[in-house]
């Protein structure tokens, strides 16, 4: 009976994740008019307030607010069973990923870059930077757009998940293993056996800390924000989601989250990526429309003949 509960609980989480994280791309930008390098930067910066407004208002403007609240409650209520199953059956799979993929430091021996240029995060930061640089050199607008919008989505993910929600919700992370005793640090306080250990308030942590920082998973938020942006920029590609999933699985034990925290982080990241992309393109379309209106009136100063008299001619056209 216990195994049946775990199995059905995990299937419910998987179904919820597949429904919630599915990219719903309805915004089709007009790319017939190219954007300049400075225009890409300008539209990215000027829409920060629009992003913030959309993110803050989302809980109240969500048309499925009641249904999603019930799903979240169900996820938390079954967190012990699903996370125990996750620890025993899913987390060990990361050894297969590590046999194929590794992330050594890109800048060995460099004091600052060596620290940030290794691991999954370092490769994502370096890859996004390289993509933007390649876009600048080649004049590829999509690569520039993907690079700068990804940076924006990652920063907003950090603020929303790591700074705000982790501080407000202040949930303790699960002990490893659940239902047993261990000798490593992940089995001792503040790692707990109960999924209901919320509101362990603490100061705002700018770096990773164990105490009260479970909900939601910042890495799930960040990786799926990355996937959400890049999938939209590159014509609904599935590759960014595959990369995000691989990155999350690679160090899944190191993140140490309840399953609900991974699901919620992925959903938030998907939404942040959508907001960043659509607000940027709305600003892009508006700037192009305004620019086109200012160019409708044209003037021409030249030599011409009026009533048989040669002289300067000044004409307007629209």
Measured in degrees and rounded to the nearest 5, phi and psi for residue 259 equal -60, -40
pLDDT (average), residues 40-69: 94
149 and 229 Cβ atoms separated by less than 8 Å: yes
For the stretch 200-223, pLDDT in tens is 999 999 998 999 999 999 999 999
Total domain count, the chain: 1
What is the end-to-end Cα distance of the chain in Å, rounded? 77
Task: Note whether residue 18 is domain-resident.
Answer: no
Task: Note whether residue 73 is domain-resident.
Answer: no
Tokens 């089709």 — which residue? 28
Task: Note whether residue 305 is domain-resident.
Answer: no
94 and 251 Cβ atoms separated by less than 8 Å: yes
Task: Note whether residue 8 is domain-resident.
Answer: no
pTM: 0.82
Task: Note whether residue 148 is domain-resident.
Answer: yes
CA distance 160 to 105: 28
CA distance 229 to 294: 31
Q: For residue 48, how many other CB atoms are within 10 A of its CB?
A: 14
Nearest partner of 270 among 229, 311, 310, judged by Cα: 229
Task: Note whether residue 81 is domain-resident.
Answer: no
CA distance 176 to 80: 12
Residue predicted with more confidence, 90 or 29: 90
Say what the pLDDT of residue 28 is.
Answer: 67
Q: What is the mean pLDDT of the chain?
A: 84
Say what the pLDDT of residue 318 is.
Answer: 42
Highest mean pLDDT among 86-100, 108-122, 162-176, 243-257: 162-176
Task: Note whether residue 270 is domain-resident.
Answer: yes
Measured in degrees and rounded to the nearest 5, phi and psi for residue 306 equal -125, 120
Give the domain extent around 54: 35-63+91-285
Rounded (5°) CA angle 254-276-73 = 55
CA distance 128 to 148: 8
């Amino acid at each position: 009976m216990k195994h049946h509960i775990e199995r059905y609980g995990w299937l419910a989480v998987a179904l919820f994740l597949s429904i919630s994280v599915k990219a719903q791309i309805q915004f089709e930008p007009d790319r017939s008019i190219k954007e300049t390098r400075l225009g890409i930067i300008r539209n990215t910066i000027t829409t920060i307030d629009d992003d913030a407004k959309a993110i803050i208002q989302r809980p109240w403007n969500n048309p499925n607010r009641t249904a999603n609240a019930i799903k979240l409650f169900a996820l938390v209520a079954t967190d012990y069973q699903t996370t125990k199953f996750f620890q025993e059956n899913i987390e060990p799979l990361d050894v297969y990923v590590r046999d194929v993929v590794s992330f050594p430091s890109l800048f060995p021996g460099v004091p600052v870059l060596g620290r940030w240029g290794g691991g999954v995060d370092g490769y994502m930061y370096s890859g996004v930077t390289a993509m933007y640089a390649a876009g600048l050199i080649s004049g590829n607008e999509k690569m520039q757009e993907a690079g700068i919008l990804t940076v924006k989505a990652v920063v907003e993910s950090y603020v929303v998940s790591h700074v705000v929600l982790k501080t407000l919700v202040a949930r303790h992370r699960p002990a490893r293993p659940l239902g047993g005793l261990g000798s490593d640090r992940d089995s001792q306080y503040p790692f707990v056996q109960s999924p209901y250990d919320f509101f362990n308030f603490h100061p705002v942590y700018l770096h990773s800390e164990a105490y009260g920082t479970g909900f939601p998973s910042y890495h799930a938020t960040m990786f799926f924000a990355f996937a959400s942006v890049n999938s939209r920029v590159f014509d609904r590609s599935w590759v960014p989601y595959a990369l995000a999933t691989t990155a999350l699985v690679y160090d899944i034990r190191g993140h140490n989250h309840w399953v609900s925290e991974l699901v919620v982080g992925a959903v938030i990241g998907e939404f942040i990526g959508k907001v960043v992309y659509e607000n940027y393109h709305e600003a892009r379309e508006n700037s192009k429309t305004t620019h086109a209106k200012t160019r409708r009136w044209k003037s021409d100063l030249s030599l011409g003949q009026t009533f048989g008299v040669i002289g300067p001619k000044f004409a307007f056209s629209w």
